[in-house]
Structure 1
Amino acid sequence: MFKLCGLQFLLAIHSQASLSCFPPSLSVSQALCHNLEDLHVTGPLKDMNFSVPEGGGVRFIYQFTSEPPAVSFRVTGEKDGIIDIVPRTGILYLNGSLDWETKAVHRLQVESLDEKGKVVKGPYAVTIHVEDINDNPPEFDQKEYTGVVRQNSRPGKPFMYVHATDRDDPTTPHAQLTYSILHHFPNPYTEMLFQIDSVTGAISPSKMGSYYLDPQKQDTFTLVVTVKDMAGMTTNAFTSSADVLITVKESMWKVPPTIHIQENSTQVHPVNISQVHSNELDVIYDLFEKEKLPRLPFSIDQNGVIYVTEPLDREEDDSYAFFVVTKDNKGELVDKPLQIHVVVEDINDNPPVCQQALTVIEVQENEGLGSNIGTVFATDMDEKDTLNSRLQFKIESQVPSVPASNLFFIQQDTGILQLTSRSLNKRIASNYSLKVLVTDAVFQTRCDVQIHVIDINDQIPIFEKSDYHNVTIAESKPVGTVILEIQATDGDEPATGSSYIIYQVKEGDPNDTFIIETDPETNRGFVKINKALDFEAAPMYNLVINATNPEPLVPGVQYNSSSLTLFKVFVTNVDEPPVFPKTVYKGEVSEDIPVGSLVMTVEAYDPEGAVVRYSLEGDIRKWLKIDSATGHIYTASTLDREQEEIYTVHVVASELSNTAQKSKTTLTLHLHDVNDNPPRLAMDYPLFFCHPLIGGERAFLQATDDDEQRYYSRFTFSLVDDMNTRNNWEISKVNATHAYLSPKHANFEEKVYNVPVIISDNGKPPLGRQVNLEVNICKCSSEKSCFIEVQREHSWPSTGQAIGILIGVLLIIGRSLFLC
């Protein structure tokens, strides 16, 4: 249509005719020349502004109407040979295409003239704004780009940029550019190793690239990068591309080898111990502690040189681990943190230390030649298993030196003391003091040793009584009670292993019911109850007790009957309550088992053999009964898991002849569910739809079920098989628990409808329930709330009813908002 009109328009211009090519009415003219849309294309002479898209060729802009005595028009200004006016008709037109990139605004002056060419009106300013169209593809500022990336560079950290420009209007989407990577050569992985910022053109390694880039495997890559205008949001966008050649170089950012520093260095600190190099320029180096220390004796300068700032002590800390990080001027991490490991090497700077200020050793006077009599222990804080911590032992002196000066020998590398002769005699010397010299490669320390020569164990313990006769105790006596004190004596040297007495029950107590403890000062023995007594299991014990020494007897001496004693323990009976073998009885039954079914049997026994009777406590629901003689427990009424899933009662066992003697246990009954509850609506509320209905209304229904849903609830919703109901309503499933109720047409009256709905569950067998939904078709306010009139004869509702109605309406409003 525009082309035809434009052709006729040109003919009119050349013929200087009136605008007879155009239809007689303005509205028809606008219809034909549709590019003018709703603009007024004719009017009196005045200041005007026009917006004209660039390109498009010959076009009609506007027609100025003349007022007598004006008979023609004249245009001057920035016409550029394209803009002109038909003098007789006042038609302002283009005889070519405007170009936004050449000139965005044309400023003209239009005036009307009379027959003599004199100005009647004007000049008036006419401004033509050229509208940009997307007629320029974006262009990269280079045909090919090159860049270098370091191995293990941080993902997302740009190492180069590409840049493109577009000659179109930058204030429009025509010049909004989007960058992307079209191809990636080679691409050995499922994901690209590089990524580009779609806005800035910044190229950086991807997460995959940060991990996998390795010049040993592939040191060059070619990326085909594209740029689209129109922000890349349309298929009609112009696209350009450029190659990006990337060289992968080895990472300079590497963990240095483990740093070894000798402790207690006398160098002037700080001391250079290592250096790291970032892949990036102008970074800030910093140290980060792996573990919080009172102080970190290391620092780093801005050339990546790591220093130790003070002498180190291996005994204080034998190694250090910390991280070196690089940051940019915004404080953001540049490289991955490097963990630095420092090992402090030992020097021999610690003397040996005696483990005990005085080592005391006891030796029997008849100890054999070469016997190990004890060990001198010493430690060295220098590094273990090195020459710095190797200790050697030597006896420096022995006091007294009788009957010889070398009675003892110490193993040089173990500190074990041995006898060099059989010459120990307590009558000659009962004590010896040794000075033991302990040395490492640099230091030495003296340790004191005292050796006590003790009497040989040639005397056996002798009981003061060979028979302690009888002890009678009740079976209820607590564990730990002393039931008897016994005494034996030993003629060997006091306070030695030869005279200390150990009492043991030798016979008559196979279950260790009794234990005997010794007073170390008096050697008196205390017989105590070690385990609970039980008259029914063991009413009497016939005990044989022996007395021995921890030191072995000398050859030729043996224990005999003098080291034995006897006594009997009589246990008296105490009436005890019945005993249950279990503290808790657990059972599982289905909730639908018949009344009178056996669910459990409990048993208790009386230690004295009394007859036991059973009863229940805590059966608040009266679900159970128990046979008092047998302990059989039956159901007394119908069980219901929905009331209580785990039912707990107490079973009491008491003696028939003495009901005060009783004990109690717990019975826990776990009820298994059966499908005995039909589904129901999760909430009980009226539904409403605003009158008149417009179609598409629906109300939200939710079902629930009191039965246990072992996997998930699943309900089906359906309407009652009634013609009227099915013609007016329909139900559609939302999910396993929800459905929509919808009117099937809009021809409903303002009244309350009862809609019968059947809800069924997925039990085996399934259960269903009919629900009569009350649906109000009623007038609504502009807020979509429903006004429900209360039917009362010639009177207003009472205050209580009005409040009730208001609450109902508010509930309906809330429901409506929820559904929306």
Structure 2
Amino acid sequence: MNMDQEALWLDVEGLSVSGPLKPMNFTVQEGGGPRILHQFTLESPAVSFRMSGEKAGIIDIESSTGILYINGSLDWETKQVHKLQVESLDGNGSVVKGPFPVTIYVEDINDNPPEFDQKKYFGVVRQNSRPGKPFMYVHATDHDDPTTPHAQLSYSILHHFPNPYEEMLFQIDNVTGAISPSRTGSYYLDPQKQDTFTLVVSVRDMAGKTINAFTSSVDVIITVMESLWKAPPTIYIKENSTQVHPVNISKVQSNEPDVIYELFEKEKLPRLPFSVSKNGDIYVTEPLDREEKETYTFFVVTKDSKGELVDKPLQIHIIVEDINDNPPVCQQNPTIIEVQENEIGGSNIGTVLATDMDQKDTLNSRLQFQIQSQEPGFPTKNLFYIQQDTGDLQLSGRSLSKRDSAKYFLKVLVTDTKFQTVCDVEVHVIDINDQIPIFEKSDYANVTVAENIPIGTVLLEIQATDGDEPGTGSSLIIYQVKEGDPNNTLIIETDSETNRGFLKVNKALDFETMPVYNLVINATNPEPLVPNVQYNSSSLTTFKIFVTNVDEPPVFLNPVYKTEVSEDIPVNTLVMTVEAYDPEGDSVRYSLEGDVRQWLRIDSATGKVYTAARLDREKQEIYSVDVVVSEQNNAAQKSKAFLVLHLRDVNDNPPQIATDYPTSFCYPVSGGERTLIQAIDADEQFFYSKFTFTLANEMNARNNWEISKFNATHAYLSPKHANFEEKTYEVPIILNDNGNPSLENKVNLKVSICKCSSENSCFIEIDREHYLPTAGQAIGILLAVLIVIGTILGVVFWRMKQKEKKEKSQPKDAKDNAELDRLA
């Protein structure tokens, strides 16, 4: 025995860890140096002990005293379990008891720093890559016990060279080591400005949650490449193409391999005549018609196998190019033009109008006009001339006479570069306009009306006569208010057959603005008067309108007041100001109606609307109430306007576990099982487009369970081993919604380990402790059952006797009345 051993058990008589020889298990922390584990006591006739097995050169037993000791340091990384055998011997060396197993479990301590699997990492990222989409991974290992925090690693970015912006351009998943662009990086990464970055990535054990953790770091060299994902320039396609469709018109290419390309419509069309192939080739699937639609706008999106967007959508813009495929069309057929007898040669008498549906301001829609024929052809064949490019029709050299012909029929040829159309024109020669309209009255007196008279009400009927040829522009009368109506509040309509005029209310009357109208009304013809004939006072009349005041309700400046606010604004924040006035100038007061959530209040004097309580978008995103304005001294005179509040979302709801997923595993657990769990969040999708699921470091969760990602909202929960009891476990899960700022929530998910039916669903077992009856209850139940059975038997015997009596009184081949009826 050396001096160290002597020092170990100088005080061995005081050891409390002693006892007879039997199977023993010990847990010993690695390192720590020499130590005594136990002392086996001798039982006659035994005089000594002997040990064999996995001693590792430092585990032994003192044969005479039975002291089991370690003379050195155990190493968990070298061997986690040592299996030994101990036996007692008599004076002759024969075995008295044993051998008994002695097992020593080595407990790990955090004595190994994490190590990256590469000395330096290299990665490539494309500009405009989606934020959060990993383009590379770093990986480190730790030789400590993986079931303990000693080997649980956490990654972070220690340095970022260069770092031209306040926010880092890259981010790392602290659990997986996935490196991806940040939101800032997705926007700003550009190889023209900076094509190489160096990240110093750090990894810490103990999950990075203690200052005593071991740390390692590595350089990550990232090269920025130009994005392949670019929108093509505007695509031009000629309409009515005769090519065999589909026709390849462009191509897009994602930065990521194996993506799925899809088209997303910006406009909801009955059909979208475009498609995209699995390689990103864009096709037009059928001939296009510019006259039906001249531009198309849609997006190309890329998705991964889970249906998540990979790249930002690309906008594709299509312009359909015109071809000359539409003939000219006459706007009126025939076109009727009136010409007075005294119209001088060269006068413009009208215009032949035609249209072409081809693209405006191109040669395809350029129209030219030519007179093809004139009937009758006297007094000359060329009485008319048409401007080639405008269609303006003129008298070629002389005035027309009704004695020669009252009507002329022209055929005008209208052509574009490919098509031609013939338009019919009738020229009616009419009497000269040498008579003016004359009113039957020079003064129509006056009328008194209330200011709230309905629009469209006829206030006056007027009449003038004209001695020119009936049914022509020379005799048709047009009435107009010449003076006294600066705001065009009134309008006069004419009956073209009787030339009677009707003065109507065209806009609402307003006593406060215009209490009296002193009207001067004139009568004119659409055809010009001949020279030396002038309109005079006979073509004028007067009329006066008195407007009486009506007590009108206040009026809002706007019928609807809309605004958008963030749901987290403080109470008593001013959200908007509504404005109203009383036409009579009375003071007004404001109030709210329909504020069911009591979220708002209004200053009755100023119309300023404030928040009265905390807003909550998750309860109601669009909140509308009525704003009421009334006269200060007459509350019955009131008006309403709508106030609409659109609440912008903030990330104020932590994620939760959805309750509609089964969380159970069949007992016994065999391995490979998993169940799907879903995270939900009341906030808008903008704030929870990607949930993160992690196990909390408590309740031995990370030793028993494992979480793996399924998609942005779901994850798989799996047992990590098979040593589960048949009971319900609480699994602590940390959910993060990755919002800005992000919100975390720890939920204890109840997971049942239970015996299952053949359909792999849990049996429903009765809780015997709660449902077994007491002795008194059992006796009561038994008596009740016996009484029920006795009653049933009594009824049966009685019915049997009744049946026998009936059978004796009836024919033998008929058992009851029903049978008799059937036989009859």
Category of TM-score, reference length = shorter chain: 0.5 to 0.7
> How far is 1:459 from its partner?
3.2
Does structure 1 residue 234 correspond to structure 2 residue 210?
yes
Gaps of 5+ in 1: 1-5, 14-18, 27-39, 586-603, 605-645, 652-663, 669-820
Distance (Å, rounded) in 2 between the aligned partners of 1:547 and 1:214: 74
Contact 2:461-2:500 within 8 A present in 1 as well: no
Aligned to 1:209: 185
Aligned to 2:69: 93
Residue-by-residue CA offset, 1:374-415 (whole Å, 9 max, x unaligned): 111111111111111111111111111111111111111111
Select which of 331, 339, 352 maps to 1:376. 352
Distance (Å, rounded) in 2 between the aligned partners of 1:232 and 1:260: 57
Provide closer, same or farther for how the CA distance between residues 175 and 352 of structure 1 changes in structure 2, counting only shifts above 3 A: same
Select which of 297, 301, 304 maps to 2:273. 297
Distance (Å, rounded) in 2 between the aligned partners of 1:425 and 1:302: 77
Aligned to 1:140: 116
Select which of 5, 22, 26 maps to 1:10. 5
Distance (Å, rounded) in 2 between the aligned partners of 1:53 and 1:169: 12
> How far is 1:552 from its partner?
3.2
Does the residue aligned with 1:521 lie in a helix, a strand or coil?
Answer: coil
Distance (Å, rounded) in 1 between the aligned partners of 2:510 and 2:5: 130
> How far is 1:550 from its partner?
4.2
Distance (Å, rounded) in 1 between the aligned partners of 2:290 and 2:320: 6
> How far is 1:582 from its partner?
9.1
Q: Counterpart of 1:279 in structure 2: which amino acid?
A: N
Distance (Å, rounded) in 2 between the aligned partners of 1:434 and 1:323: 54
Does structure 1 residue 191 correspond to structure 2 residue 167?
yes
After TM superposition, the structure 1 = structure 2 runs for residues 47-62 of structure 1, keeping only pairs within 5 Å, are 47-62=23-38
Contact 2:522-2:541 within 8 A present in 1 as well: no
Provide closer, same or farther for how the CA distance between residues 519 and 329 of structure 1 changes in structure 2, counting only shifts above 3 A: closer
> How far is 1:262 from its partner?
0.9
Provide closer, same or farther for how the CA distance between residues 60 and 340 of structure 1 changes in structure 2, counting only shifts above 3 A: same
After TM superposition, the structure 1 = structure 2 runs for residues 689-700 of structure 1, keeping only pairs within 5 Å, are none
Select which of 315, 325, 328 maps to 1:352. 328
> How far is 1:110 from its partner?
0.7
Contact 2:437-2:464 within 8 A present in 1 as well: no
After TM superposition, the structure 1 = structure 2 runs for residues 335-734 of structure 1, keeping only pairs within 5 Å, are 335-461=311-437, 488=465, 490-501=466-477, 519-523=495-499, 549-558=525-534, 563=538
> How far is 1:500 from its partner?
3.0
Distance (Å, rounded) in 2 between the aligned partners of 1:10 and 1:473: 131
Provide closer, same or farther for how the CA distance between residues 569 and 409 of structure 1 changes in structure 2, counting only shifts above 3 A: closer
Aligned to 1:284: 260
Distance (Å, rounded) in 2 between the aligned partners of 1:393 and 1:75: 123
> How far is 1:517 from its partner?
6.9
Provide closer, same or farther for how the CA distance between residues 188 and 84 of structure 1 changes in structure 2, counting only shifts above 3 A: same
Does the residue aligned with 2:5 lie in a helix, a strand or coil?
Answer: helix
Provide closer, same or farther for how the CA distance between residues 358 and 46 of structure 1 changes in structure 2, counting only shifts above 3 A: same
Provide closer, same or farther for how the CA distance between residues 475 and 328 of structure 1 changes in structure 2, counting only shifts above 3 A: closer
Does structure 1 residue 264 correspond to structure 2 residue 259?
no
Aligned to 2:147: 171
Provide closer, same or farther for how the CA distance between residues 505 and 93 of structure 1 changes in structure 2, counting only shifts above 3 A: closer
Distance (Å, rounded) in 2 between the aligned partners of 1:328 and 1:475: 73
Does the residue aligned with 1:251 lie in a helix, a strand or coil?
Answer: coil
Contact 1:366-1:422 within 8 A present in 2 as well: no
Does the residue aligned with 1:240 lie in a helix, a strand or coil?
Answer: strand
Distance (Å, rounded) in 1 between the aligned partners of 2:372 and 2:490: 52
Aligned to 1:219: 195
> How far is 1:356 from its partner?
1.5
> How far is 1:528 from its partner?
9.3
Contact 2:554-2:630 within 8 A present in 1 as well: no
Distance (Å, rounded) in 2 between the aligned partners of 1:356 and 1:417: 15
Select which of 230, 233, 250 maps to 2:226. 250
Gaps of 5+ in 2: 556-583, 585-628, 640-824
Aligned residues: 561
Aligned to 2:768: none
Does structure 1 residue 310 correspond to structure 2 residue 304?
no
Distance (Å, rounded) in 1 between the aligned partners of 2:144 and 2:510: 106
What is the aligned-residue RMSD (CA, Å)? 4.2
Does the residue aligned with 2:324 lie in a helix, a strand or coil?
Answer: coil
Does the residue aligned with 1:231 lie in a helix, a strand or coil?
Answer: helix
Does the residue aligned with 1:522 lie in a helix, a strand or coil?
Answer: coil
Provide closer, same or farther for how the CA distance between residues 564 and 193 of structure 1 changes in structure 2, counting only shifts above 3 A: closer
Q: Counterpart of 1:424 in structure 2: which amino acid?
A: L
Contact 1:482-1:529 within 8 A present in 2 as well: yes
Does the residue aligned with 1:10 lie in a helix, a strand or coil?
Answer: helix
Distance (Å, rounded) in 2 between the aligned partners of 1:538 and 1:188: 71
Contact 2:464-2:523 within 8 A present in 1 as well: no
Aligned to 2:98: 122
Provide closer, same or farther for how the CA distance between residues 377 and 41 of structure 1 changes in structure 2, counting only shifts above 3 A: same
Q: Percent identity?
A: 70
Distance (Å, rounded) in 1 between the aligned partners of 2:371 and 2:364: 21
Does structure 1 residue 22 correspond to structure 2 residue 17?
no
Provide closer, same or farther for how the CA distance between residues 191 and 475 of structure 1 changes in structure 2, counting only shifts above 3 A: closer
Provide closer, same or farther for how the CA distance between residues 234 and 462 of structure 1 changes in structure 2, counting only shifts above 3 A: closer
Does the residue aligned with 2:413 lie in a helix, a strand or coil?
Answer: strand
Distance (Å, rounded) in 1 between the aligned partners of 2:484 and 2:83: 130
Residue-by-residue CA offset, 1:585-617 (whole Å, 9 max, x unaligned): 9xxxxxxxxxxxxxxxxxx9xxxxxxxxxxxxx
Provide closer, same or farther for how the CA distance between residues 121 and 65 of structure 1 changes in structure 2, counting only shifts above 3 A: same
Does structure 1 residue 66 correspond to structure 2 residue 42?
yes
Does structure 1 residue 161 correspond to structure 2 residue 150?
no
Q: Counterpart of 2:293 in structure 1: which amino acid?
A: D
Residue-by-residue CA offset, 1:193-221 (whole Å, 9 max, x unaligned): 11111111111111111111111111111
Provide closer, same or farther for how the CA distance between residues 333 and 494 of structure 1 changes in structure 2, counting only shifts above 3 A: same
Distance (Å, rounded) in 2 between the aligned partners of 1:570 and 1:192: 76
Distance (Å, rounded) in 1 between the aligned partners of 2:211 and 2:77: 23
Contact 1:649-1:666 within 8 A present in 2 as well: no
Distance (Å, rounded) in 1 between the aligned partners of 2:331 and 2:423: 9
Contact 2:131-2:183 within 8 A present in 1 as well: yes
Contact 1:544-1:564 within 8 A present in 2 as well: no
Does the residue aligned with 1:209 lie in a helix, a strand or coil?
Answer: helix
Find the structure with the greater CA-based Rg.
Answer: 1
Q: Counterpart of 2:83 in structure 1: which amino acid?
A: R
Distance (Å, rounded) in 2 between the aligned partners of 1:342 and 1:49: 79
Aligned to 1:794: none
> How far is 1:447 from its partner?
1.0
Does the residue aligned with 1:211 lie in a helix, a strand or coil?
Answer: helix
Q: Counterpart of 2:166 in structure 1: which amino acid?
A: T
> How far is 1:458 from its partner?
2.3
- Normalising by structure 2, report the TM-score: 0.61
> How far is 1:471 from its partner?
7.8
> How far is 1:314 from its partner?
0.9
Q: Counterpart of 1:100 in structure 2: which amino acid?
A: W
Contact 2:492-2:502 within 8 A present in 1 as well: yes
Contact 1:71-1:88 within 8 A present in 2 as well: yes
Q: Counterpart of 2:364 in structure 1: which amino acid?
A: N
Provide closer, same or farther for how the CA distance between residues 157 and 564 of structure 1 changes in structure 2, counting only shifts above 3 A: closer
Does the residue aligned with 2:38 lie in a helix, a strand or coil?
Answer: strand
Distance (Å, rounded) in 2 between the aligned partners of 1:493 and 1:485: 21
